[in-house]
Structure 1
Amino acid sequence: MRQKIVRLTLVAGVLVLALLLLLATCGGGGGKDDGKAKKPVKKSTGPATRLPVPSAYTTQRGWELVGTSPDYAVSRTTGRLAYLVRAAGGQYRIRTIDADTGRAGWSGERWRPPAANHFPKLLTVTADDHEYFVTWAYGEIGENALTPPDTIVSLDVYSVEDGARQRVEVPWNTVPTVTATGPGILITDGRSNSVVVSPKTGRISKVPAQSLKYPKGCGSCKQLTEVRGLTSKGLLVSGAREFWVQNGWFSRNVAPKGSDRRSGIPTSVARGVVLAKWQLDKTSKSAATHDLWTVHNSETGRPLVSVECHKPAIEPGQYPQAVVSPSGSYLVAGNLAFDLSTRKGYCFENGAGAKALTLASVTDDGTAYGATSVRNAADVLAGAGFPVKVEVTAGTTDALSSNVRVPSAEGAEGVGLFRWTDEKERLHLIGYPRAESVPAD
């Protein structure tokens, strides 16, 4: 069933001030999903909410969804954006729009996940040049008076083109980590056991710890072993000090210049790349105070670009997640930024070595957005701290007005995606186009 967007419009009369409130959500309103199509509005109508945003974007055009899931996913090949809405009886439903225009696309059928009290998670996976939206949830099913409940990871896999769906249920008895950095959906227990699900066929392939193919001569590889991600060559796995790809490359053999070859630790995995932290060679003057951060090609292990950064006074419990621009040309993670096309890396820190800012998103023109005085990227996108813009191509920073909200991502056609929570605790997802792409009235 197709839905049309209805946006919030403010109309002022000469003698009488009338407020017409039309809740625009592409079916994503804060109430129950009634399944009824909404009337279309004029293309020139802008979103109801006008957030203060960077000057690169205009709030006079765009679209707005209200009451959506915390997660959303964007298809690089079709430009569709997927999100979830609540339906009656603890059910949920996936909906899509064109991320550029806001026009409604296909919608999925309603379903009840095993954890009905929370929105399922949403991600995108690519296999054989075909993209899929994936929703997943973890919980119990099948409880009755005679049998105990089973715990499963429930996956619903949708073709981005037409919404064709298949369901896959994977028995799982611990809290899972589910990612999609490679050609399959990876489920791990945070250690050495994992399952890979094919989004094309739904086939479930168990990968026990004994089949991880530990590199010969690597004693630390069997200590603190952890499955980190999936590549087309196999699983990316780390040990206490080194890492490797099952059936592929070994970090010791692809160590960046100037590093201790036996010290690599992958801190984040994204589409096509691995961000790793290395100790500097002991002969380096800064070996005691600095680490070397390197972006590696996940298929070959080849180092793409490196930058030195002060060691933290206290090692973080979790390193920042790497965020890659839609084209794959730029990567940011915490206070690190990399231009992968020119092989330049930057570490934004003050003179004493403290982290100067946290970056949360990066666009295809090399503009990254973040904030100072925050703990992590989630704080940045929630509006905390003091917003900052970074030109990754030049390594320069520019402070923004203190009330500016920064985009969480940007679509392929240059529409910035912004999150905001209203006084009723409803999540808004707003698409503001680039100002340069909107003709003057």
Structure 2
Amino acid sequence: MRQRVVRVTLVAGLIVLALLLLLSMCGGGDGEGAGKAADDKTGKPVRHSAGPLTRLTVPSAYDTRQGWEISNVSPEYAIAQDSGRIGYLERVDESRFRLRTLDSATGRPGWTGQPWHPPASADQFPGLLSVAKDGREYFVTWSFGTAGEDALNAAGTFVALDVYDVADGGRQRIEVPWPTAPTVSGTGPGILISDGGTRSAVVDPVSGEVTRVPQDALGYPKGCTGCRRLTAVRGVTTKGLLLSGDPGFWVRGGWSSRSVGPARTDPASGVPTSVAPGYVLAKWQPAKGSKDAGTYDIWAVHEVTTGRPLVQVRCHKPAIEPGEYPQAMLSPEGGYLVAGNLAFDLEQRKAYCFEESDGSKPLTLTTVTDSGTAYGATSARSPADALAGGGAPIELDLATAVPQALSPNVRLPGAETAGVGVFSWTDTKDRLHLIGYPRRQG
């Protein structure tokens, strides 16, 4: 069942005239900043100089004498890896926000979106993510709120999406009726809206088309009794929805975990713990009768379109299962993947589990670069805690797989793109700063 719920914004002649007057006052431009609003009172968001204002203590691979810095930005930022652009939100006034972009390599401002009012409370920034399809990249802002009641329509809740083409800032608004607070993700070739269970909607970022799969048409694999327990939509693939049960996972109309289990595992035990663009990280039980079946798990990275396992590693079972597993993070070009205390070299087909012999997990990895250098912290509660300064920071060269301690006050990069590490910090006025430091050459 398909539907399209796209609101087309018509630009009146007076607004066009106002924009023409604004451009004439500004002396024209190259078009990248054409979306910048006339009521911009925030000043230049990026400082152009020989280096950023702030020099944090960071891993030695990054040069703090160069780079860029922006301030008073949203807690979430999005990266379009192919183009090397970063998207972030800023508050225009008490009730409006807008999306800005910059070139991550140079810090130069890109296009700026027009201000808008989200349907949700303006106390918090709207959500922000990136998604790619058919070689095109998009930034997506989203919020959940209530539509006003009028003479023809009853009030109802909906998810409002603003989808921006990364190349030129072209925008389309899509509104999807939705009953409860959603989760929204972009790890596949579509924008997934989910309730954490079987209700879902997939929005095509190119056309704006909205696709819903009825809850009675989820394509449960034959012979998978666990697939009907705690069923949840987990992601979007080029072949269809990725779903999971307790245990078991499958792509609707495609492969199922029972047929793609890694060697020496119980084929009925697969549980997907995290989804990254193009991959699924899953946990498996050793084959029945194995001497270590009660003490170890097998972790594998699967290629999402076929389910084929690419690489696997054995880890002690934790004493207490976590309520939520760490999100898998890819290196910019996709050659490495890290999640919690796991690291995978997807090209060399090598995998590592960093743990203590009693099954505890002192090491939490947060980021990995294209050179195979991972960053993280020991004794951190989560990746978010490690990025916020929790635990003791480390760096790890996956070629040697030996963690190296960093100075206790070192900040970890939240991401790397175009050879630039992205760091964040909050000043005394509770304003969030993003800083880009380039990786040293040689």
The TM-score, its normalising length taken from structure 2, stands at: 0.89
Deviation at 1:249, TM superposition (A): 0.5
Deviation at 1:219, TM superposition (A): 1.4
> In the alignment, residue 185 of structure 1 is paired with which amino acid?
I
Deviation at 1:171, TM superposition (A): 0.6
- Describe the superposition over 1:124-145 as per-residue Cα deviations: whole angstroms up to 9, x where unpaired: 1111111111111112221579
Structure-2 separation of matches of 1:39 and 1:278: 47
Given that residues 33 and 85 in structure 1 are in contact (C-alpha distance below 8 angstroms), is that contact kept between their aligned partners in structure 2?
no
Structure-2 separation of matches of 1:403 and 1:268: 30
- Residues 170-319 of structure 1: pairs in structure 2 closer than 5 A: 170-319=176-325
Deviation at 1:329, TM superposition (A): 0.5
Deviation at 1:73, TM superposition (A): 1.1
Gap runs ≥5 in structure 1: 3-25, 27-31
* Corresponding residue number in structure 1 for 2:58: 53
Gap runs ≥5 in structure 2: 1-18, 23-32, 34-38
Q: Does 1:102 align with 2:107?
A: yes
Question: Aligned to 1:294, what secondary structure does the other structure show?
Answer: strand
Q: Does 1:330 align with 2:336?
A: yes
* Corresponding residue number in structure 2 for 1:157: 163
Equivalent residue in structure 2 for 1:124, among 122, 125, 130: 130
Equivalent residue in structure 2 for 1:85, among 62, 84, 90: 90
Deviation at 1:394, TM superposition (A): 2.6
Structure-1 separation of matches of 2:43 and 2:431: 21
* Corresponding residue number in structure 2 for 1:14: none
- Deviating runs (4+, > 6 A) in structure 1? 144-147
Root mean square deviation of aligned Cα: 1.9
Equivalent residue in structure 2 for 1:349, among 340, 346, 355: 355
Size of the alignment, in residue pairs? 406
Structure-2 separation of matches of 1:421 and 1:80: 22
Given that residues 33 and 88 in structure 1 are in contact (C-alpha distance below 8 angstroms), is that contact kept between their aligned partners in structure 2?
no
> In the alignment, residue 41 of structure 2 is paired with which amino acid?
D
Name the stretch that deviates more: 226-235 or 33-42. 33-42
Structure-2 separation of matches of 1:244 and 1:140: 34
* Corresponding residue number in structure 1 for 2:432: 427
Question: Aligned to 2:216, what secondary structure does the other structure show?
Answer: helix
Name the stretch that deviates more: 144-153 or 224-233. 144-153
Question: Aligned to 1:313, what secondary structure does the other structure show?
Answer: coil
- Describe the superposition over 1:349-392 as per-residue Cα deviations: whole angstroms up to 9, x where unpaired: 11222102101111111111111111101111111111011112
Question: Aligned to 2:384, what secondary structure does the other structure show?
Answer: helix
> In the alignment, residue 162 of structure 2 is paired with which amino acid?
D
Question: Aligned to 2:275, what secondary structure does the other structure show?
Answer: strand
Counterparts in 2 of 1:178 and 1:41: CA distance versus 1, 3 Å: closer
Deviation at 1:177, TM superposition (A): 1.0
Given that residues 359 and 371 in structure 1 are in contact (C-alpha distance below 8 angstroms), is that contact kept between their aligned partners in structure 2?
yes
> In the alignment, residue 74 of structure 2 is paired with which amino acid?
S
Counterparts in 2 of 1:389 and 1:245: CA distance versus 1, 3 Å: same
Given that residues 152 and 173 in structure 1 are in contact (C-alpha distance below 8 angstroms), is that contact kept between their aligned partners in structure 2?
yes
* Corresponding residue number in structure 1 for 2:369: 363
Q: Does 1:34 align with 2:56?
A: no
Given that residues 339 and 393 in structure 1 are in contact (C-alpha distance below 8 angstroms), is that contact kept between their aligned partners in structure 2?
no
Counterparts in 2 of 1:244 and 1:41: CA distance versus 1, 3 Å: closer
Structure-1 separation of matches of 2:47 and 2:282: 48
Counterparts in 2 of 1:118 and 1:39: CA distance versus 1, 3 Å: closer
Name the stretch that deviates more: 281-290 or 220-229. 281-290
Deviation at 1:226, TM superposition (A): 0.5
- Describe the superposition over 1:391-419 as per-residue Cα deviations: whole angstroms up to 9, x where unpaired: 1233221010000001001012x110001
> In the alignment, residue 369 of structure 2 is paired with which amino acid?
T
Given that residues 140 and 164 in structure 2 are in contact (C-alpha distance below 8 angstroms), is that contact kept between their aligned partners in structure 1?
yes
Structure-1 separation of matches of 2:400 and 2:327: 22
> In the alignment, residue 246 of structure 1 is paired with which amino acid?
R
> In the alignment, residue 220 of structure 1 is paired with which amino acid?
G
Question: Aligned to 2:385, what secondary structure does the other structure show?
Answer: helix
Structure-1 separation of matches of 2:335 and 2:78: 19
Deviation at 1:147, TM superposition (A): 7.1
> In the alignment, residue 115 of structure 2 is paired with which amino acid?
R
Given that residues 300 and 312 in structure 2 are in contact (C-alpha distance below 8 angstroms), is that contact kept between their aligned partners in structure 1?
yes
The TM-score, its normalising length taken from structure 1, stands at: 0.89
Given that residues 255 and 261 in structure 1 are in contact (C-alpha distance below 8 angstroms), is that contact kept between their aligned partners in structure 2?
yes
Deviation at 1:283, TM superposition (A): 2.4
Structure-1 separation of matches of 2:401 and 2:290: 24
- Describe the superposition over 1:16-60 as per-residue Cα deviations: whole angstroms up to 9, x where unpaired: xxxxxxxxxx9xxxxx94266689744xx2111110000000110
Question: Aligned to 1:379, what secondary structure does the other structure show?
Answer: helix
* Corresponding residue number in structure 2 for 1:71: 76
* Corresponding residue number in structure 1 for 2:405: 399
Counterparts in 2 of 1:38 and 1:156: CA distance versus 1, 3 Å: closer
Deviation at 1:89, TM superposition (A): 3.7
Question: Aligned to 2:294, what secondary structure does the other structure show?
Answer: coil
Question: Aligned to 1:85, what secondary structure does the other structure show?
Answer: strand
> In the alignment, residue 95 of structure 1 is paired with which amino acid?
R
* Corresponding residue number in structure 1 for 2:421: 416
* Corresponding residue number in structure 1 for 2:26: none
